[in-house]
Amino acid sequence: MSGPHDFDFLHGDWRVRNRRRTDFLDPDSAWEEFQGTTRCRPLFDGAANIDEIDMPHLGRRGATLRLFDPAARQWSLYWASSGTGLLYPPVTGRFEDGRGEFHGADVHDGEDVRVRYVWSGTSPTTARWEQAFSLDGGTTWVTNWIMEFTR
């Protein structure tokens, strides 16, 4: 069952290998790869955290605020980009059996999309994050961004 310390593994400094599709909605588009770094710090005694990722290849930074709701036993994850200055709608979800899955709604290139984040392979020295979009309400997904975290 999900709890307020699910993201404790993420606290601290990381190197991040990014792979993302050149077209987030096209499952046949090419992948581009680039490096980044991130630092995550806990808030509210671990029931929240914030990180900032630096992606020099893209010429921007991003930040994620994660908040745990103890009544619902789930997390809300909010993403912001220095490229837009916007705080995007949250994805919500929980960890079960070491895997975190989070869903939400957004708009990408004028298209309404369902968004899914998956955290897996978490340990003190590694973690994996994936983002996928769906145009059909979650029946099919296009994985469009993968981050491999290492210390």
Query: Under the phi-then-psi rule, with left for phi > 0, alpha for psi from -120 to 50, and beta for the rest, what region is 93?
Result: left
- How many domains, in total, are found in the chain? 1
Instruction: Indicate which CATH number applies to the domain containing 49.
Output: 2.40.128.20
Task: Note whether 51 and 70 are within 8 A (CB).
Answer: no
pTM for this entry: 0.94
pLDDT tens profile 22-69: 999 999 999 999 999 999 999 999 999 999 999 999 999 999 999 999
- What residues contact residue 64 under an 8 Å CB cut-off, 6+ apart? 50, 51, 53, 77, 78, 79, 80
| 76: pLDDT strictly greater than 90 | yes
Q: What is the mean pLDDT of residues 118-136?
A: 97
Please give the pLDDT value at position 34: 97
Q: What is the mean pLDDT of residues 112-121?
A: 97
The H or E element that residue 6 is part of is none
Residue 63: inside a domain: yes
Task: Note whether 102 and 117 are within 8 A (CB).
Answer: yes
Q: Which domain holds residue 87?
A: 8-150
Please give the pLDDT value at position 111: 87
